[in-house]
Amino acid sequence: MSDMLGISGNAIGAYQRALSTVSNNIANVNTEGYSRQDVVLKDTAPSKAANMFFGTGVALEAVKRQFDAFAESNLRNSTSDLATQKPMVEYTKRVMDIMGDKSVGLSSALDDFFAAANSLSADPASSVLRSTFLRSSEGLGSRFAELSGQLDLVGTETKQALESTANQVNTLTTQIALVNQNMAKSSSLEGQSAEILDRRDLLLRQLSDLVRIKTSFATNGTVNVSLGNTVTQSVVVDGQKARPIGIDTSVKGKTELLLDPYGKTESLASASGGQLGGLQTFISQVLEPAQKNLNFLAKTVVTEANNIQTNGIDGYGQTGQDLFALDPSVANEAAGMHVVLNDAMRVATAAQFRVSEVNGNTSSTRASVLFSGATTPPSNGISNTGLVNNPNPTAGVTIKVEGAHVFTPVTTLSAGVSATFYLDDAKPGQQLQVLTRDGRQLLGQSLSETEKFQMLTPDNGFVANSTYSDAYLNQTGDKGYRNMDIFYGAMAKIRYAQVFDKNGAAAPPQAQAAVLETGRIPDNAPGTQIQAGAIVLNGVSLSDLTTRPDTALSPNDVAAWINGESKITVAVPSFNGFQASVGGVKLNVQGLNPVPNNLATLAATLQTRLRALDGSSNISVSLINNNQDIQITDAMGRALSNVELMANVGATSGGTVTVASSLTSQTGVHAEVFSEIRVPTQQLDFSKHLKINGQVVTGNFKDVKGLVDAVNAMQPGIGVKASVKEGELVISSLTTGAPIVLNTDAVAGEGSNNLLAMAPMTYNGQVRLVQVARDLHIPSTNIDLNRKIQINGVSINTAGLMALPLTDRLQALADRINDPMQDPSPGVKASIGFYGDLVLTTTDASGTANISIGPGKNSDGTYEQNGLGLEPLDYSVEDRLKQLQINDPTKADIRLSFGSYGDPARMGSPADLAKAGLRTGAYIEGGSQDDLLVFVTGQGKASVAASYSGAPVNMRDNLRAQSLVVKFTAADRYTITDAKTGTQLADRHYDASVLEPLIDYEGLQLKLSHNPSVGDSFQIDGNQDGLGNNVNMLAMVDLAKKPVIGDKTIANSYIDQINNVGNLAQQANITQQALTVVNDQAVAARDKVSGVNLDEEAAALIRYQQAYQASAKALQVSGQLFDSIVQIR
């Protein structure tokens, strides 16, 4: 009814609702996220009457939520942006305050450290300042650790913040999903309540504070949220489903975000903004670089400080040790930095080297010394990379000396390395030459003028102003260069076998006789092979090596050459008494009464009598030179001396005596010939056959034993015998020294293949040089004739010896031991040695039998003291060797070196030794103290092989251990002498005309203030007691100013980091300020639409109240109108 009553009634209802909407607005004035609501009034459809329309009143069309999607999304974005800066500002400030703080920051600790170093440098001897320095170092170390710990703390905190933020995100996304679920009931936005929309927007706004989000709204208002760059990437709310985010815990110290960490995991690398992004930015841009730089700084400080420390000398005179160390178990290097020195005296303040001006210097020249560092030697000490560590001749390098060049360099040998260089295939006159860089020749042959001129140049590794000296050439031990153990020639040393006592513990090594085997003796053409004097064996010059007439060289010749022969020749013999010392034992034959002119009888009688005296049949007497002369030889090669002839009555002399002791008796080396082929049994190939000396070995054998039997069955025709020894098949010649021929084609068609798997050829005989140690020396002071003496079980009669005068007793004892009437014989000869000691010599053929001293021990190990003062033992050849080494070291080894011969004098060469099947080596043992240079001189082609051991020494430490004296022998000449050995290391020219004359020895540089006087000396040695020296501490002080990190000092590098962090903090501050303004505007923009203003509401209240009141009045009027009509009667 378009009547007044209806209109008013509707209006009252509408305004009542409008008023309640206003009061709802007023009620929610402080509700967070509330959007103001407004009523929309609409006039209802008019009614038509005739041509007129009448209004039918008002209707409440809608309660509208005041909302602007653009303002809302703008607010979300600006909230994210602003929230990003918050952690940056907050935490960067924290880092800033930590790093820049005086008590936690590094700067003050560094200042402290360097100040302590500076103080110490001004008084390095002060133990107080040393301690202060150590404390400051500890302070620096712990400051690093503390700072690292503080940064770690910030790291932990930010990580926790990141975790809790992620949790908050998860809570919010779950709620949004729930809201979505609620809204799903309606298919249109209009169907959603204002409250749920407010809730949705509030949640989104809260989420955007935590992280930047992308949203997409469905038509019914449900929202999908993503953290990626697009709405479909990294979706955290997908309709009614929320996906959680979390932190990657798989890598320690990593703070990367993951989507759905327990489900279908995705990386969240693109998530940014909000607090979450801000925290991440802080970690990656501020914290991690700060930690990394701090760690790098710690490492640098440790390395630099330790370098300086280890380059100096501490208060005890020792090389400095590391000052700082990093704890390898701590991930952050800075956190594990600590001081490792705990003794303040171990702080290295002093320089490595020191120079002293000798007190007797007449000039006042001041000297200073500096170690400039040496070039790095090759790691194995050998500069020639082709020279491998293999002494086998086949591994050698070929060295050619030809044309105008009189030498070819082989290699340099760095100090500290022991080596032996072998020269093979040497042409006559070719030599190995070993020199120091200063031209001191150690091994080889004295250089000719041409060789000196060509060789001693810097190009060959010599010092520029070096001079040549052969003062130490081929000398070893005390007489040698720096007492070095060096040798040139062929050598075999006493071997040492490891033995174990009854408990299985290692006993002192057992000395074993030195053995030197030659190669197969080449069957050279007949004639003189080696000139007399060219070769020297153990200090004894050998005679010439000459073959028998018209016979090729054989091993027997070589053995005879080395052994020599003991013989006494008596020309024009005419004697009836004969006396000689044989092996130190005096043999006296009297009353020979020869038949005149019957020398044969004389010889026979003499032989019988001598053999009887000697107690053996080693001595032979024969006639030589057409039976004109008598010759007495000793098969054992004993030393012969003191020959006296008692002349016949009436004759003026007994004859002319020539005595030649065998070489063995002088050199202590015995040579024996052998001829054999040795094959490891596993090398044997039984599918092949064997033909030796032209005879095929027959028989059906399939193993070594069968082979040995088959060969031996063919004796003597085959000329060899076979045996198995130490896993090797040994085929040796039946005739001493005869060659063994291994033939080809053992069966037709087999060619050079054979059972032995060896090249078919003629295998010549060899010579084995063995050291002889027959003598047991007993000091005369140890002999007590009142006690019993037993030798090899034979008791020696000592009765009555004490009654003799003191001077005669020892000889008398020797005579008793030598008494040929004893039965059984003790098997030894006694003599008086060079030092007046009693010498017992075993008389067995090989000289290896034990000399047993008794009476023996009791079962409990106790024993009766014997007259020789020795423990009752079997004194073996090893024991005697040990004694030999002590008494006469020159005979302790087998050493074949070169001597000079002929006129003009020439020197024996490796080519000579090679003729005797021996290999020449330059032996440098125990490591050289200097670099050595190795050359080959002499025209031709040869091969050099080497074996080496040890590593090059640190030249600085090497020099520190030395004491060098620089002495001016003339105004322009100086020598450098090793003070310990007195060896002259260098003799050089001093050029005073250059601007800064420098004396350089292996990197050690001596500078003089002005020219010294002749005779002035300067001693350079490793600083051992220079407690007051501050040179090294000055280096530590200089570290403060040294650009060690790029072009920055340590302190500046740290300050730079503070600056970097400061800049970031500043930047974050400014950005935050700017973004706050933006955010404020966004808040205001949203608020303009959705906010509740109480004044506005009051106005609306009044407005709707008035309308309500007016409608009510209209209703009243309509009632009155109705009453008026009703009252009309």
Partner 1 sequence: MKISTTLYFDRATQQLGNVQGELARTQEQLSTGKQIVKPSDSPDKASLVTRLESELARQASYQNTLKSVNTRLQSEETALKNTSDVLLRIKELSIQAASDSLAPADRQSLALEVTSLKEQILSLANTQDTNGNYLFSGSRVGQPAFGQDASGQVVYQGDQARMKVAVGDNRRMNMNMPGSDAFVKVVRTDSKGQKTAIGFFQALDDLSNAIKSSDHTKMQTGIAEIDSLQQGTSDALAQVGTDMNVVDMQNSVLDEVTLRLKTTKSDTEDLDYTSAITKMNKDQLALEAAQSSFAKISQLSLFKYMN
Residue 1042 CB, nearest approach to partner 1 (Å): 12
| C-alpha pair distances (Å), 595 with each of 575, 576, 609, 621, 644 | 11, 10, 16, 17, 20
Interface with partner 1, residue 115, by CB under 8 A: yes
CB-wise, 464 or 1070, nearer to partner 1? 1070
Interface with partner 1, residue 1098, by CB under 8 A: yes
Residue 115 CB, nearest approach to partner 1 (Å): 4
What is the DSSP track for 461-492?
T--TT---B-TTTT--GGGSGGG-EEEEEEEE
| C-alpha pair distances (Å), 684 with each of 703, 707, 775 | 9, 10, 43
For 90, phi then psi, to 5°, come to -65, -55
CB-wise, 313 or 558, nearer to partner 1? 313
CB-wise, 140 or 602, nearer to partner 1? 140
CB-wise, 108 or 182, nearer to partner 1? 108
CB-wise, 239 or 1015, nearer to partner 1? 1015
CB-wise, 384 or 1069, nearer to partner 1? 1069
What is the DSSP track for 1043-1059?
--BTTB-HHHHHHHHHH
CB-wise, 291 or 937, nearer to partner 1? 291
For residues 872 and 793, what is the distance between their CA atoms, to the nearest angstrom? 11
| C-alpha pair distances (Å), 908 with each of 475, 489, 533, 611, 724 | 16, 10, 8, 41, 40
> Which residue from 624, 759, 979, 1102 is in contact with partner 1, where contact means CB under 8 A?
1102
Interface with partner 1, residue 1088, by CB under 8 A: yes
Instruction: Tell me the CB-side half-sphere exposure of residue 580, using CA atoms within 13 A.
Output: 29
Radius of gyration of the chain measured on its C-alpha atoms: 55
CB-wise, 127 or 625, nearer to partner 1? 127
Residue 933 bridge partners (DSSP): 412, 435
The sign of the torsion formed by the CA atoms of 203, 209, 210, 212 equals: positive
Residue 266 CB, nearest approach to partner 1 (Å): 37
Residue 1022 CB, nearest approach to partner 1 (Å): 13
For residues 822 and 789, what is the distance between their CA atoms, to the nearest angstrom? 14
The token duo for 364 is 């006042």
Residue 25 CB, nearest approach to partner 1 (Å): 10
Interface with partner 1, residue 119, by CB under 8 A: yes
Contacting range for partner 1; rule: CB under 8 A; set: 117-125, 298-306, 495-503, 899-907? 117-125
Site for partner 1 in 345-374 (CB under 8 A): 350-351, 354-357, 359-362, 364, 366-368
> Which residue from 334, 491, 1092, 1107 is in contact with partner 1, where contact means CB under 8 A?
1092
Residue 956 CB, nearest approach to partner 1 (Å): 19
Interface with partner 1, residue 1099, by CB under 8 A: yes
Interface with partner 1, residue 1106, by CB under 8 A: no
Residue 517 CB, nearest approach to partner 1 (Å): 55
For residues 282 and 518, what is the distance between their CA atoms, to the nearest angstrom? 81
Residue 102 CB, nearest approach to partner 1 (Å): 7
Segments in 397-543 forming alpha helices (H): 449-455
How many chain residues bind partner 1 (CB under 8 A)? 86
Contacting range for partner 1; rule: CB under 8 A; set: 599-607, 611-619, 912-920, 1055-1063? 1055-1063
> Which residue from 608, 1066, 1106, 1120 is in contact with partner 1, where contact means CB under 8 A?
1066
Residue 977 CB, nearest approach to partner 1 (Å): 19
Contacting range for partner 1; rule: CB under 8 A; set: 90-98, 587-595, 763-771, 945-953? 90-98
3-state secondary structure of 325: strand
CB 424 within 8 A of CB 945: yes
* Nearest CA among 848, 866, 849 for reference residue 857: 866
Residue 1014 CB, nearest approach to partner 1 (Å): 9
Interface with partner 1, residue 111, by CB under 8 A: yes
Q: In what order do the strands lie in the sheet with 235-238?
A: 214-217, 223-226, 235-238, 241-242
| C-alpha pair distances (Å), 641 with each of 608, 662, 845 | 20, 11, 21
For residue 284, give the DSSP letter. Answer: I
Residue 16 CB, nearest approach to partner 1 (Å): 18
Residue 308 CB, nearest approach to partner 1 (Å): 14
How much of the chain is in helix, strand and coil states, percent to nearest 5? 35, 25, 40
Residue 510 bridge partners (DSSP): 497
For 108, phi then psi, to 5°, come to -70, -35
CB-wise, 913 or 1055, nearer to partner 1? 1055
> Which residue from 499, 886, 992, 1094 is in contact with partner 1, where contact means CB under 8 A?
1094
Site for partner 1 in 1012-1051 (CB under 8 A): 1013, 1023, 1025-1031, 1034, 1037-1038, 1040-1041, 1051
Site for partner 1 in 7-46 (CB under 8 A): 29-30, 36
CB-wise, 135 or 777, nearer to partner 1? 135
Residue 134 CB, nearest approach to partner 1 (Å): 17
CB 35 within 8 A of CB 193: no
Residue 1085 CB, nearest approach to partner 1 (Å): 10
CB-wise, 64 or 520, nearer to partner 1? 64
> Which residue from 23, 56, 126, 307 is in contact with partner 1, where contact means CB under 8 A?
126
| CB within 8 Å of 1060: residues ≥ 6 apart | 289
For residues 552 and 251, what is the distance between their CA atoms, to the nearest angstrom? 83
CB-wise, 41 or 1083, nearer to partner 1? 1083
Residue 912 CB, nearest approach to partner 1 (Å): 52
| C-alpha pair distances (Å), 612 with each of 577, 608, 818 | 16, 6, 11
3-state secondary structure of 896: strand
> Which residue from 40, 62, 122, 153 is in contact with partner 1, where contact means CB under 8 A?
122
Residue 361 CB, nearest approach to partner 1 (Å): 6
Interface with partner 1, residue 1084, by CB under 8 A: yes
> Which residue from 14, 37, 71, 114 is in contact with partner 1, where contact means CB under 8 A?
114
Interface with partner 1, residue 1010, by CB under 8 A: no
> Which residue from 12, 110, 326, 585 is in contact with partner 1, where contact means CB under 8 A?
110
Residue 812 CB, nearest approach to partner 1 (Å): 50
CB-wise, 678 or 1007, nearer to partner 1? 1007
Q: Which helix (H) or strand (E) holds 610?
A: helix 599-614
For 114, phi then psi, to 5°, come to -70, -30
Residue 997 CB, nearest approach to partner 1 (Å): 18
Interface with partner 1, residue 182, by CB under 8 A: no
The token duo for 816 is 């008793």
* Nearest CA among 150, 925, 802, 936 for reference residue 482: 925
CB-wise, 124 or 655, nearer to partner 1? 124
CB-wise, 435 or 1068, nearer to partner 1? 1068
3-state secondary structure of 234: coil
Interface with partner 1, residue 97, by CB under 8 A: yes
Q: Which residue matches tokens 């600590």? A: 338
For residues 908 and 531, what is the distance between their CA atoms, to the nearest angstrom? 8
* Nearest CA among 117, 102, 98, 109 for reference residue 143: 109
3-state secondary structure of 798: coil
Contacting range for partner 1; rule: CB under 8 A; set: 264-272, 413-421, 667-675, 1059-1067? 1059-1067
- Alpha-carbon 507 to chain mean position: 31
Residue 678 bridge partners (DSSP): 730
Site for partner 1 in 51-70 (CB under 8 A): none
- Mode of pairing for the β-strands spanning 397-401 and 367-371: unpaired
